[in-house]
Structure 1
Amino acid sequence: MEKISVSPQNNFCPQTLFMYGTYREDGTPNFGLFCWFSYFWDGELGVMACIGGEKLTKDRIRETKVFSANLVTESMLPIADYLGNNEGYNKEKMNIPLETERGAVLNVPVLKDSPWVFELEVFQSISFNGSDVFLCKIRNTLVAKELKDNSIDVDERLRMAAPVTWIGEGQYYTLNHETLGKTGNWKDLYGKNKV
């Protein structure tokens, strides 16, 4: 495979989509679509979320220090795309049919249709030129019961979750739900490592 040098970019590095939920100052829910989301370890699993540009979602996270991260599924994609392509500063944005409820632990809006939701509390933020990174404690995780049912094959549970990914090329993608192998299947590929 011949390689070429390019400018800094993360194309073809799949990122799972989440809708971040906050409450506006008037108490109504606000959601935006984001994918710069990952994890870290600091004695327990935490979340790091980066938001570029100026957005109502970022304003509300800075103000309240809490938000929800709702996994986007294939069936949720049309509403997620709408929410991600309309500014939160537009007061009419959220005048849509969207079923939400309050988080189980934090005062954050949660999407009823999302099968995996993190309730997050920011404990540290880092501001950069054009973006902010929020380091968060996971205060609660709301999960569709069937996704934790080990009697259901993991491939089937992934099909049920149906997460949507983004690769930075202007297209949304589904996972093909096809198992490639298990962790450790190739640990002896080159024989035993000798010390």
Structure 2
Amino acid sequence: MAKVSVPVSNEFCPQCLYLYGTYKENGEPNYGVFCWATYCWDEGLKFVACIGENKLTRDRIRATGIFSVSVVNEALLPAADYCGNHPGYDFDKSKEIPSVKGAVLDVPVPVSSPWTFELEVDKTLRLDERNESEIYICKIRNVLTEEGLTDGRSFEERLKEAAPVIALSTKYFPVKPEALGDWGQWKDKH
């Protein structure tokens, strides 16, 4: 099949959906939905988060240097979508997502998320002169997960229970817990 050039986009690039959690100055939880994230190795595994435009979540990360990053699952998706479409400056989102405090850092953790990182900003890379977009390279200070996801079941069974959501184009999709193979499985077949 022939390849053709198209406008720049990430339409067919799956992105994990995350809730970034901070506390507002009044102590109430604030969440924003983000998917511009990845990992890097810098003296250990680190989380890399990109935030563009003015957002209360970014303001609070700048002020405190800490935040939580929680995997959005199918149960959490309606509240996460609400948070992602209502600016924290204008809406009180604290009651949308039941939360507990982090175990190591003073960050909110959504009760319904299957996996949460408690993060401390290690390095900040500003991407524009207006300071509207920046990348945070973060130390993972703690990982919180549902106890049931640590048992001896197969990864596929635990993935089905966790039910993370990914974003493609402008849509949400479930993760189908059927493995295509393991890393290195085909290394000698070509």
1:98-118 deviations in Å (ceiling 9; x for gaps): 311110000111111111000
Match of 2:167 in 1: 166
d(CA) in 2 for partners of 1:80, 1:55 = 15
Which residue is equivalent to 1:8? 8
Q: Match of 2:155?
A: 154
- For normalisation by structure 2, the TM-score amounts to 0.94
Does residue 1:136 correspond to 2:135, yes or no?
A: no
- Residues 83 and 93 in structure 1, CA contact (< 8 A), matched pair in contact too: no
Partner-residue secondary structure (3-state), 1:177: coil
Tell me which amino acid in the other structure corresponds to 1:186: W
Q: Spell out the pairing of 1:63-74 with structure 2 (5 A cutoff).
A: 63-74=63-74
Identity of aligned residues (%): 48
Partners of 1:57 and 1:97 lie apart in 2 by 15
Larger Rg: 1
In structure 1, what is the equivalent of residue 87 of structure 2?
A: 87
Q: What's the CA shift for 1:93?
A: 2.6
RMSD over aligned Cα atoms:
1.2
What are the Cα deviations for residues 81-139 of structure 1, in whole angstroms up to 9, with x where unaligned? 0000000001x432534311110000111111111000000011111134110110000
Stretch of structure 1 that moved more, 181-190 or 19-28: 181-190
Verify the 8 A CA contact 2:21 2:31 in the aligned structure 1.
yes
Instruction: State the shift of 1:55 in Å.
Output: 0.4
Structure 2 runs not aligned, ≥5 long: none
Q: Secondary structure of 1:155's partner?
A: helix
- Please, which runs of 5 or more residues in structure 1 have no aligned partner? 191-195
Please tell me the residue identity of whatever aligns with 1:125. T
Task: Report the TM-score, using the length of structure 1 for normalisation.
Answer: 0.92
CA distance in 2: counterparts of 1:110 and 1:95, whole angstroms: 12
Give the counterpart letter for 1:55 in structure 2.
K
